[in-house]
Amino acid sequence: MGMDLGELNRIAKAMVAKGKGILAADESSGTIKKRFDKIGVESTEENRRDYREFLFRSTDGMRHISGVILYDETIRQKAKDGTPLVKLIEQAGSIPGIKVDKGTKPLPFSKDETITEGLDGLRERLVEYRGLGARFAKWRATYTPTQGRPSYNCINANGQALARYAALCQEENIVPIVEPEVLMDFDNDIDTCEAVTEWVLKETFAQLYYANVALEGMVLKPNMVISGMKAEKRAGVQEVAERTVKVLKRCVPAAVPGIAFLSGGQSEEEATAHLNAMNAAHPNLPWSLTFSYGRALQAAPQKAWSGRAENVTAGQKAFAHRARMNGLAAAGQWKADLEKQAA
């Protein structure tokens, strides 16, 4: 099957359509268990299915969602009434996608750094996932911006892996989401995050070029340029927005249809405010700026639902609210007082 760049570009554009964003519902079994532990829900296959099913059936929420990243288990699951979950996503006018990496492992001889695994057998898995309905995929690499890290070894190794993954996706007519994440869990200041993010993006796009990846048929999922969570003083909303846009202008070619930020541990409102500030101040960027949030879209619905069937409507309402807020932010039209109205 030859690569169809027109088709890849069409899907990539739909993934970053104005006022819409991507729901990252691809938590591994270990991660979803942590989320469920917080709300006192046992992480069984059925509970995971029930939870994701009510999100995908939330008409009000899904109208702001362009695509959904799924986990291997979820792309194979059926709703309670027997409808494949992939079909529910398509019926909501959204595009199904799949996480294909096998997670991060320690990078040898490199202090506290990781390499993302999952290239072996990926070509065959992509063929299967396409058959199951996936039209885009995701691969995440992580970088630590503290104590002299990341090393060039880490940036180079992950850049090559991201590029090989992206090329394999495009060969199978699946749009790759390329996710190089500079982590925000540390005490670094925003200057360090900016310098590391610029370096990581420069190297990642160099490797994409060497691997012949067509930029028109991909979506970038980067971190924002932001202070570490443990920093003594954290930069404000406008500073995060301006520094992030500055780095993206330096590093991301205009051929890329869109950039969908990860939330990376930001609070729900913080993630929305930052995205909004970028779009409000920069309406004419070469690429679309939107969201690909996990926790920042799901923490509220999880809490509202808490594993009880009678709370599904409340969970859907909470999800619809966050999806709408982020949809507005993706168009630069969010205002903080809209949050209070919903409370």
Q: What residues are annotated to the active site?
A: 221
Distance CA 116, CA 161 (A): 7
Distance CA 39, CA 306 (A): 5
- Phi (first) and psi of residue 199, to 5 degrees: -65, -45
For residue 152, the one-letter residue type is: Y
Cross-strand pairs, 106: 114
Cross-strand pairs, 97: 69, 136
DSSP 8-state assignment for residue 217: G
The counts of H helices and E strands in the chain are 14, 10
Q: Is 73 exposed, middle or buried (0-12, 13-18, 19+ CB in 10 A)?
A: middle
What is the token pair recorded at 210?
């060497």
